[in-house]
Amino acid sequence: MSFIVTIILTVQMLSALAMIGLILVQHGKGADMGAAFGSGGSGSLFGASGSANFLSRTTAILATVFFVCTLALAYFGNLRPASSGSVLEGAAVVAPAAASAASESAPAAPATGAAQIPAK
């Protein structure tokens, strides 16, 4: 189970880093306004509008992978085996047996808190 969670976490981190890089490479809608008035070259490596489609689709795919990994991590994080090894589970089972054994062999411990306040 831990191996699967590690793989999903790795895929999630890689998709997040790739998404950050792709989002930073993209230019906003306002950047095309300069090209419309002739101040910028709209031709690029992917063509006039090819980069927007390629980068937008890749970003959408990476976002989908990121959300699927997030849901999978939430699912696996919520699964709990019958005995998860919690300290509290062991204390709830051992405490009543230890308390009955301690009361038979040792004197009672002094009261603490509100039990120490003398009554009038």
| Annotated domain spans of the chain | 1-28+45-77
In this predicted structure, which of 4-18, 44-58, 72-86 has the lowest mean pLDDT? 44-58
Give residue 93's identity as a one-letter amino acid code.
Answer: V
What does the alpha-carbon distance between residue 111 and residue 84 come to, in Å, rounded to a whole number?
34
Burial of 62 (0-12, 13-18, 19+ CB in 10 A): buried
Question: Would you state the structure tokens that stand for residue 64, as one six-digit string?
Answer: 């989908």
Please give the average per-residue pLDDT across 85-93, as a whole number: 61
In the block, which residue shows the tokens 């999978």?
72
Per mean pLDDT, which range of 9-13, 27-31, 72-76, 85-89 is the poorest?
A: 85-89
What's the confidence (pLDDT) of residue 95?
47
Calpha distance 66→11 (Å, rounded): 8
The per-residue pLDDT for range 8-38, each reduced to its tens digit, is 999 999 999 999 999 999 887 766 666 566 5
For the chain, give the mean pLDDT.
Answer: 75
Buried b / exposed e along 8-28 (16+ C-beta atoms within 10 A): beeebeebbebbeebeeeeee
